Amino acid sequence: MRGVALALGGGGVRGYAHLGVLTVLEEAGIPIRGLAGSSAGALAASAYAFGHKDPWKVHEAIFDEEMAKLSRSGGLRALSRLYRALRRPALAEPARVAEGLRALFGDALLEESPIPLALQAADLLTGEGVVLRRGPVWKAVLASMAIPGILPPVAWEGRLLVDGDVAEKVPVQAAKALFPKVVAVDVSNPPPQEAPRTALEAALLAGEASRRRLKELALQKADLVLSLDPPFPIDTFDHEKLPLVYALGKQRAQERLKEIQALSRVRLKDLLQALRPRG
């Protein structure tokens, strides 16, 4: 069967680049046989599968000013917000995001998706990766996007689920379960070039380095890796960069289009293997 599955990674506002990638593949006539997404990738995968392909409309549906302020906070304001966060379950309230996701997806279920969907989340208590294939789309996306400390965990069938990036930033394994040929789209920022200035920064960088290593191991299982490679770091909540990341996603897909087209074709040896009698 022609086509590819895509594993769409997390990255906040950088995740809108996924819709740019998908637009290019659609225009090139490459069949999308499955979509696996983590965090922002879960939003992009679900939005595209259910026909919401305009990044500005998706953004308008879920935009939360309180979360956007996180990219503009600095100095005493940042310390004030951190102090408040330590006294409550999460820094941001989930109501606005949940309301927007409900408006976007309504009562749609993952299992009803025209394109097979798999959304990556993580169990906060055990650290296990949890791949969601059934249930309300809006709630599954909310769970996959629930950045610990920013949004509260989402209760799901006896588990407390948080951001899929905790388990697998680019869900290649989940995509492979949907279709054997996988294009992984990594929208990570480039690694930092400056040494940490504080103990907190050092701790955060250490955690990020660990997640980066796990991501690289996951990407090795993909058939092709498409990296956003932004020209400068783009903050998770810097929504003013949406036009830039969307255009960059289209550009990166165009640059690798011939490779993706070659991967999407039916190879003779695969066809012969599929037709070979079993037993």
Q: Is 210 a catalytic residue?
A: no
Catalytic residue, chosen from 38, 64, 113, 163, is: 163
Catalytic residue, chosen from 39, 46, 144, 188, is: 39
Which of 149, 145, 150 lies closest to 67, judged by CA? 150
Question: What are the tokens at 122?
Answer: 């993580």
In the block, tokens 């069938």 appear at 157
Can you tell me the distance from the alpha carbon of 80 to that of 174, in angstroms, rounded to the nearest whole number?
39
Task: Return the number of other C-beta atoms located less than 10 Å from residue 180's C-beta.
Answer: 14
Under 8 Å CB-to-CB from 36, ≥6 apart: which residues? Answer: 5, 6, 7, 8, 45, 117, 118, 119, 120, 131, 171, 172, 174, 175, 177, 178
pLDDT per residue as tens digits for the range 95-114: 788 999 999 999 999 999 99
Query: Which pLDDT value is given to residue 83?
Result: 42
Which of 11, 37, 20 lies closest to 253, judged by CA? 20
Can you tell me the distance from the alpha carbon of 219 to that of 141, in angstroms, rounded to the nearest whole number?
22
Give residue 46's pLDDT band: very low, low, confident or very high (50, 70, 90): very high
Least confident of 10-14, 29-33, 174-178, 207-211: 207-211
pLDDT per residue as tens digits for the range 181-222: 999 999 998 887 777 777 756 766 776 777 777 788 889 999
pLDDT per residue as tens digits for the range 227-275: 999 999 898 888 899 999 999 999 999 999 999 999 999 765 655 555 5
Q: Is 107 a catalytic residue?
A: no
Q: For helices 242-255 and 55-62, give the axis angle rounded to 10 degrees.
A: 140
pLDDT per residue as tens digits for the range 154-167: 999 999 999 998 88
Least confident of 73-77, 149-153, 190-194: 73-77
